[in-house]
Amino acid sequence: MRKRVAFFVAFYLGLGAASLQALADEAHRMKPGETFSVSNKENPSTGYIWRIDPSASAGLDLLAISDGGHKAGKSLPGAPGTHSWTIRALEPGTATVQFVYQRPWEPAPAETRRIVFKISP
């Protein structure tokens, strides 16, 4: 009986984790030539910065990505702000861009944001 309960608990916890990951992913439809803006809250004074993780992204050749950099939210030293990118669809296909919020010297990101772009005429 205990094994059966443990199995169901593990199964539903696993299902919940998969659902959370699915909720974290975003999908956007675009036509070639259209642009999409991405902004993530960032506080580089803590060492954390947003960047694109090319190893976890796919189809980047279908997009033109320009990095808008960090913009401070307030004029106070160390104040948080946003990091922005402009993404332009170039060709039909599917592209995935994964952003990671990470200190460059740490192995794992504190946060990720994955966006899937479906590009069609």
User: Residue 87's Cα: distance from chain center in Å?
Assistant: 13
| Least confident span in 20-24, 63-67, 104-108 | 20-24
**Nearest to residue 49, comparing CAs of 86, 83, 79?**
83
Residue 86 has pLDDT above 70, yes or no: yes
Q: Give 87's strand partners.
A: 36, 65
Distance CA 57, CA 42 (A): 20
Pairing between β-strand 35-42 and β-strand 81-89 as defined by DSSP bridges: antiparallel
pLDDT at 14: 42
Task: Answer for the pair 24, 113: CB distance below 8 angstroms, yes or no.
Answer: yes
pLDDT at 2: 53
Tens-digit pLDDT profile for residues 50-61: 999 999 999 999
Q: Where are the domains of the chain?
A: 26-119
The alpha helices in 1-121, defined as continuous H runs, are: 2-24
Residue 80 has pLDDT above 80, yes or no: yes
| CATH topology assigned to domain 26-119 | Immunoglobulin-like (2.60.40)
Question: If you average pLDDT over residues 17-28, what whole number do you get?
Answer: 58
